[in-house]
Amino acid sequence: MSDSHPRGQAALLGPAEVRSLAAEFDIRPTKQLGQNFVHDGNTVRKIVAVSGVTRDDVVLEVGPGLGSLTLALLDVVEKVVAVEIDPKLAARLPTTVAERAPELSGRLDVVLEDAMKVLPSQVPAEPTALVANLPYNVAVPVLLHLFAEFPSLRTALVMVQAEVADRLAARPGSKIYGVPSVKANFFGEVRRAGAVGRQVFWPEPKIESGLVRIDRFEVPPWPIDAEHRRRVFAVVDAAFAQRRKTLRAALAGWAGSPSEAERRLVAAGIDPTARGEVLDAAAFVRLASVQPPSVSG
Ligand code: SAM
């Protein structure tokens, strides 16, 4: 069956290729590293299409694994910087690309590093987009770390556990709205961008997957420097640590006392009897900006 995307130059990985690559290097997928490899060309082409990346983009791919998504990305973009924590997988990736897309090999850089720690100084080009099938157990911290540390990233399209995708894209007032929703929305607009079934992976995970897209605010509505981010994230963490309590009670520890929490909430224009789940990112930013009482004497 032909598909709607233009035929690329890379020979994508199917089930037989994924298994033989894994067997060749005795790669036993581990749960700890969230190793579920995609063996379906249509899925990786869909991820690339939904990400909207073009020839002008430098893509940061986290966890390239055996190279399923990497090959589809190389067909489309100028450069892929692939950050992989597993030394065997990182070492094999350039060979896989040389075998399956020799004319695209020059577009790939592999960095052997933990994506929770990687910094711009370790990456040979400024990435403009993050496109990744993220390791599920660290998906949210990786996403937040990369948006914080790589200001050049203007967009992200990531595959994560469906439930995490829903949480990231949740809006205030919803039961699943929480810390990941607010923190992701601190950087940009977040939305669900599709669903992916289990059968496209080897090994097949027990859970469904979902796509999330984040477009960084072109003009940030608030300062995004590390110090401001730390202050905003601290109050977000405090508000949701006891999400069933009123904000006045939940934020007592953060503010020093219930009455000081109330004072700051009122100063930020927030009802002290409300719960954290109704506040949008802008409200958390206002709350974090209220000055503590001045210490006199
Ligand atoms: N992109 C491949 C695909 O779609 O088939 C593999 C995706 S698999 C869900 C996650 C990948 O992330 C694995 O290759 C795993 O080794 C790697 N990984 C896990 N934790 C990581 C981390 N902290 N930093 C970088 N890579 C990591």
- Provide the mean pLDDT of the chain: 94
The string of DSSP letters for 221-248 reads: SS--SHHHHHHHHHHHHHHHHTTTS-HH
Task: Give the β-pairing of 129-133 and 108-112.
Answer: unpaired
Q: Is 135 in the pocket of ligand 1 (CB under 6 A)?
A: yes
159 closest CA partner among 203, 187, 192: 192
Cβ 73 vs Cβ 49: under 8 Å? no
Give me the CATH number covering residue 145: 3.40.50.150
- Whether 170 lines ligand 1, by a CB cut-off of 6 Å, is no
**Is the same domain home to 284 and 169?**
no
Cα distance between residue 237 and residue 240, in whole Å:
5
pLDDT in tens, 216-272: 999 999 999 999 999 999 999 999 999 899 999 999 999 999 999 999 999 999 999
Residue nearest to atom 18 of ligand 1 (CA): 63
Looking at residue 177, what is its pLDDT? 98
The answer to whether residue 5 scores a pLDDT higher than 80 is: no
Structural domain that includes position 248: 226-289
Looking at the fold, whether 96 and 189 belong to one and the same domain comes out as yes
Atom 3 of ligand 1 has which residue's CA nearest to it?
Answer: 37
Q: Is residue 2 part of a domain?
A: no
Q: Is the pLDDT of residue 94 over 80?
A: yes
Using CA atoms, how far apart are residues 126 and 58, in angstroms rounded to an integer?
7
For the chain, give the longest Cα–Cα distance. 79
Determine whether the shortest distance from the Cβ of 96 to ligand 1 is under 6 A.
no
Residues 174 and 109 in one domain: yes
Geometric angle at alpha carbon 111, from 64 and 54, rounded to 5°: 60
Per residue in 110-152, pLDDT (tens digit) is 999 999 999 999 999 999 999 999 999 999 999 999 999 999 9
- One domain for residues 204 and 269: no
Q: State yes or no: pLDDT of 292 exceeds 90.
A: no
- Looking at the fold, whether 111 and 143 belong to one and the same domain comes out as yes
Cα of 39 to ligand 1 centre, how many Å? 14
The predicted structure's pLDDT at residue 295: 67
Q: Residues 147-197: pLDDT tens digits? A: 999 999 999 999 999 999 999 999 999 999 999 999 999 999 999 999 999
Q: The pTM is what? A: 0.94
Sequence-distant (6+) residues with CB within 8 A of 295 are none
Residue 279 to residue 293: CA distance in whole angstroms:
23
CATH of the domain at 282: 1.10.8.100
The secondary structure element, H or E, covering residue 61 is strand 58-62
What is the pLDDT confidence band of residue 1, given thresholds at 50, 70 and 90?
very low
